[in-house]
A = this chain, B = another copy of it.
Amino acid sequence: MKSFYDLAALETEHVEELLTLSRHLQTHPEPRVLQGKVFSMLFLSRSLRTLSSFQAAMIRMGGGAFVISPDMSIHGMEVHSGVVMDGVAAEHLREAVPVIASYGDAMGLRAVAERRHMHRDLADEAYLDIAKLVDKPLVNMESAAYHPCQSLGDWKTLDDLGVARQGGRLVISWTFHPQALPLSGPISTLQSAAMRGMDVTVLRPDGFEMPASVMQRARTLAARSGGSVRETNDRREALQGAHILYAKEWSSTRHYGDPIAETKLRNELTDWCVSEPWFKNTDPQCRLMHAMPVRREVSVADAVLDSARSAIIRQAENRMWAQMAVLYRLFKPAV
């Protein structure tokens, strides 16, 4: 494996091989396998789970990581091309990225959605522009369009919970959040669940539709795996018989890059906070998933987060086990 960018671009067998390796590393520690190996991590936005779980993953295999983040150690980072750098920023990404890459055997990058032009974010131009500067194996630690580490961990969580591939019903529901968040989460969740063969429903208020190209790709993945994909604004219909309610906040696609219009639309939607009544017609064992951070009583009610329905801590822990398999394969090519 040369990079880990978009889970849905892998073959299903490849994903399954990674999960088998992940479970193996979870039960059979290999504390020397990455001895002397360095993972370089560059965050262009804040992180808690990704930051921690990758460091822990490297230590568990005997190597180590270093972190460069916007809050530390940076002389102000310019990202735009052709700029006369006479302002605050003392350093350009064009230099910083290859330097950071040069110190490691592989690199992780978290880029940020610009949220100005949807086509640019869906094409992941900001991430891919940076990726061109890296000549080492590269891990996408979340870009504007994808979050493959989250999706691989979630796939493991679905397996751990015994959620069926064929016939498993997963609902990705938009939830309220005071800010406009990126599309990477719903896109990756939708496409990897479709690839897993599940019956996937995107539940969202009008104005928050998944882009047509995203739905089209999900349909193709579902067709290949025997799953299905649909989209609705009807909560009751969507949740009927669901095994997983995957809560997620995302930007308005109708008003993408127009914060004033988006805020106006969004502020009418505070009732999109997942609460116990949402589970009335789901499968009785229906579990809540969420990639965190989650705003209590805003995106999901306390009563749900604190109930046995919640699988979110397990999801977060699985980030580490999943990423260990990714790092293992990047550092040690499969035999």
Chain A positions near chain B (C-beta within 8 angstroms) = 29-32, 35-38, 40, 46-49, 51-53, 55-56, 58-66, 68-69, 71-75, 78, 81-86, 90-92, 94-96, 98-100, 102-104, 178, 292-298, 302, 305-306, 312-313, 316-317, 320
Contact = CB atoms under 8 A, between A and B. Distances in A.
Contacts of A83: 296-297
Contacts of A46: 73-75
Contacts of A94: 296, 305-306
B103 A293 contact: no
The 4 closest A-B CB pairs, nearest first, are A31-B36, A59-B64, A91-B293, A102-B317
B95 A312 contact: yes
B298 A84 contact: yes
Given A296-B83, A312-B95, A59 B63 contact: yes
B56 A293 contact: no
Given A36-B59, A56-B104, A92-B294, 15 more contacts: A36-B60, A40-B56, A48-B75, A48-B99, A58-B64, A64-B64, A72-B72, A75-B293, A85-B295, A85-B298, A95-B316, A98-B313, A102-B320, A103-B317, A103-B320
Q: Which of A74, A102, A178 has the most CB of B within 10 A?
A: A102
B90 A293 contact: yes
Contacts of A52: 40, 66, 68, 73, 99-100, 103
B49 A99 contact: yes
Contact of A32 (B35, B81, B99): B35
Contacts of A95: 292-294, 305, 312-313, 316
Contacts of A65: 59
Copy number in the complex reads: 3
A99 to B, nearest CB: 4
A59 B47 contact: no
B36 A91 contact: no
A82 B305 CA distance: 12
Nearest to A317: B102
Given A83-B296, A313-B102, A56 B48 contact: no
Contacts of A55: 64, 66
A56 B61 contact: no
A49 to B, nearest CB: 6
B59 A38 contact: yes
Contact of A73 (B71, B296, B320): B71
B62 A56 contact: no
Contacts of A66: 51-52, 55-56, 59
B296 A86 contact: no
B99 A316 contact: yes
A320 B61 CA distance: 22
B36 A62 contact: yes
Contacts of A320: 102-103
Given A85-B296, A295-B86, A71 B72 contact: yes
A321 to B, nearest CB: 10
A71 B68 CA distance: 13
A62 B32 CA distance: 10
